[in-house]
Structure 1
Amino acid sequence: MRRLGKTRRTKRLTRRRTWGAAAAACGAALALLTAVPAQANGYPQGAPHWALKDTAAPSVRFRGLSAVDRHTAWVAGTAGTVLRTTDGGASWRNVSPPGAADLQFRDVEAFDARRAVVLAIGEGEASRVYRTEDGGATWTESFRNTDARAFYDCLTFFDHRHGLAMSDPVDGKFRILSTSDGGRSWRVLPDRGMPAALDGEAGFAASGQCLVSAGSRDVWLATGGAARARVLHSADRGLTWTAADTPVPAGDPARGVFALAFRDRAHGLAVGGDYRAGQPSPLSAATTGDAGRAWRPAAAPPPAYRSGVTWLPHSRTAALAVGPTGTDLTTDAGRTWRTLDTGSYDTVDCAPDRGCWAAGEQGRVARLEK
């Protein structure tokens, strides 16, 4: 690891009306986004923009983020901090697990306002998983890594029960942890179906998006640090994997693919670059249309390193990417990007109801508003 400082049953008519309204609203917001020129720290009246929410945690860097909806979001970060809002960011509740102040949380996956799983990163026993079922009032430590060679970076869930976490290579292969009971218990999967790691290859615990899933069985893993930046794909919940090279530059421990986002099992985005301040990050984004078998460079990528990426809900072409130097928008499925904001964010996530959130250093959390 590079040491960087959903299923419902409804009546058919109700579903059509809900998704139709959400799609129409998303289309209207996208039209405003694309029509408004980018500005550094100000926005014309009525334009969608990041609205900062006061977390009262200026010393915390939030790299873990899970958007439940426009009202509810969870963030996780340094000093063992976990915060939750249920009123759109107007107020935040510190729901950090007790005794976790020495841990570095880098990923959080929330199922709703009450249930969430958080991942702490680090060598050996510093890598842990906690789970809550009561909004963070109490937590259960459901996994503690006892192998000094393992270093867990990210986790993802296919549904409310099945999920995976990934570690940097152990004995020459990435290690995968699996749960089938919502994170209550975990087991290490056999590595027979995992390709050998390249020399120096690892994941980046930068945004909780180095391991992502789409649908009930497909999952992707992003890498860097080696001669080539790769994306590994599994179509059977982590039992067997295939690896594909990406055009994102690597060849250095600070370079590679940092984040992935898939809007379905075929169409995905990759962003990354060189996380060191002031270092150039050419070809910092790539796209795939075949589940990650082949990756194409963006014709006009973001201008700098980006650590987080997400598709806009109910859109086949629009997505946001974030990093320490700004936020970028694509409206052509990742082929071209343009900068919308120059604020610093490490991670970004959108909920089905168009609730889009971003989080980063100095306690920064924002919601996309207009």
Structure 2
Amino acid sequence: MRLLLVFLALLGFISCTNKSKVEINSVEITPVFIDSLSIRAIEPLDENRVWFAADKGKVGLIDGDTPKLANIKYGDSLLHFRSIAATNEAVFVLSISNPAVLYKIGFNGTEATNIEEVYTEKGERVFYDSMKFWNDTDGIAIGDPVENCMSVIITRDGGNSWQKISCETLPRVENGEAAFAASNSNIAIFGDHAWVATGGKKSRVMHTADKGKTWEIFNTPIVQGRTMTGIYSIDFLDEKNGIIFGGNWEDKAFNEGNKAITKNGGKTWKLIANGKEPGYRSAVKYIPGTEGQGIVAVGSPGISFSGNGGKSWKQLSKEGFFAIEFVNDTLAFASGNNRISKLIFKK
């Protein structure tokens, strides 16, 4: 019996560690929207439709070849958006700086039905970075500190109202520690969990296992100490396995201490491909259905791919993007300066 148990345990270990390497040799890039915008927040609905939020107050739905666009003003000012999230009934966009304004856009599956302001925050240091939903009821948005903690707002009613969490509940941050509004991807969601990546003075990962009720914070080996160093993006495959990516925006070729993985829910992180390509990237995503082996990272220097869980990487394209979101295992949307493109990954 003991030998049988040992054999079964060994078999389980082998099956977990010998996952199939993913092969991708090229990417086909097709622009689906071109405009004079900086687009850092996208939310695909399916293979043909994607929501976006951009600067100059522009929010839109790209439906095949048809862009449905709106300009959002707060008073006389055009807002700059870098956060977007969606539920089955609405899309939410959040502006970056003072004032931070969060809008709920009703959506009937084809057209926007109404727009309403559901949260506003004013203050000299207000700056929101990203937003996600756990489900159609519970959502979270993250901003830079205005006190001694990250700014965290939560909705429990489908986005109709939002409340800011007290710093008494959140981990204390260092002076100069903040987050990057680079790709709407410094929050990762899985189940009831959320992980939030920070950068600047410190590069750490905040974690909640109960939709924002309680929090802890973990150190990482990602480069830190300067204003533009740190974690720019985070993604989780499940409640244990995740990846963080970033670097130094002021030295994009620098590739030490800019990518790491965890296998214990973020408690500890191990550098991957350290000192090897790629350098700085602003968004990283696991490819759906590849058991964590297929990963794509994008940034202004180009598109990079790993087929072995981050151990090694190759550059698929030098075309730069800020953000990427997958629809399935071969198709994603990516956004950057002046455009949104559809990416088809090919073996």
Aligned to 2:194: 219
Partners of 1:120 and 1:332 in 2: how far apart?
A: 37
State the partner residue of 2:280: 305
Give the drift of 1:263. 1.3
Contact 1:203-1:223 at 8 Å conserved across structures? yes
SS of equivalent residue, structure 1 residue 249: coil
2:33·2:62 contact (CA, 8 Å) conserved in 1? no
CA distance in 1, matches of 2:290, 2:312: 16
Match of 2:15 in 1: none
Within the candidate set 225, 239, 257, 1:283 is matched to 257
> 152, 160, 171: which is aligned to 1:176?
152
> What is the aligned partner in structure 2 of residue 250 from structure 1?
224
CA contact (8 A) 1:307 1:323 kept: yes
- The 2-side partners of 1:369 and 1:249 are apart by 30
Q: d(CA) in 1 for partners of 2:247 and 2:112?
A: 35
Which one of 261, 275, 290 corresponds to residue 315 of structure 1? 290
Alignment of 1:1-370 (within 5 A): 30-31=22-23, 33=24, 36=25, 47=26, 49-57=27-35, 59-87=36-64, 90-97=65-72, 102-111=78-87, 115-123=90-98, 125=99, 127-134=100-107, 135-215=111-191, 217-226=192-201, 228-276=202-250, 280-300=254-274, 302-316=277-291, 317-352=293-328, 355-368=331-344
Q: Is the 8 A contact 1:71 1:355 kept in 2?
A: no
What CA distance in whole angstroms lies between the structure 1 residues aligned with 2:28 and 2:217? 36
SS at match of 2:200: coil
Larger Rg: 2
Q: Is the 8 A contact 1:66 1:109 kept in 2?
A: yes
**By how many angstroms is 1:352 displaced?**
4.7
Matched residues in 1 for 2:212 and 2:330: separation? 29
Instruction: Check whether the contact 1:261–1:309 (CA below 8 A) recurs between aligned residues.
Output: yes
What 5-or-longer segments of structure 1 have no aligned partner? 1-26, 37-46
Counterpart CA distance in 1 for 2:128 and 2:313 is: 31
Which one-letter code corresponds to 2:59 in the other structure? V
User: Does the 8 A contact of 1:129 with 1:143 survive in 2?
Assistant: yes
**Structure 1 residue 327, shift from structure 2 partner:** 0.8
Tell me, in whole angstroms, the C-alpha distance in 1 between the residues paired with 2:37 and 2:187: 23
1:84-109 CA deviation, whole Å, 9 max, x = no partner?
1232xx33221343558621110111
The 2-side partners of 1:50 and 1:185 are apart by 41
Q: RMSD in angstroms over aligned alpha carbons?
A: 2.2
Note the C-alpha offset of 1:353: 7.0
With the length of structure 1 as denominator, give the TM-score of the two structures: 0.81
CA distances 1:141-163 after superposition (whole Å, capped 9, x unpaired): 11111344432211111011100
TM, length-normalised to structure 2: 0.86
Letter in 2 for 1:219: A
Q: CA deviation at 1:325?
A: 0.5
Shift in Å, 1:224: 0.8
Distance 2:182 2:126 in 1: 17
Return structure 1 stretches of 4+ with deviation > 4 angstroms. 98-101
1:46-75 deviation digits (Å, cap 9, x = unpaired): x5x242224131x10110011222122112
| Kept in 2: contact 1:155–1:164 (CA 8 A) | yes
Q: Distance in 2 between matches of 1:368 and 1:140?
A: 35
Q: Describe the superposition over 1:165-211 as per-residue Cα deviations: whole angstroms up to 9, x where unpaired.
A: 11212321112100012211101123323121012100101000112
Please give the secondary structure, in 2, of the residue aligned with 1:236. Answer: coil
Deviation at 1:309, TM superposition (A): 1.0
Unmatched segments (≥5 aa) in structure 2 = 1-19
Identity %: 26
Q: In 1, Cα distance between the equivalents of 2:328 and 2:73?
A: 31
Q: Distance in 1 between matches of 2:144 and 2:234?
A: 17
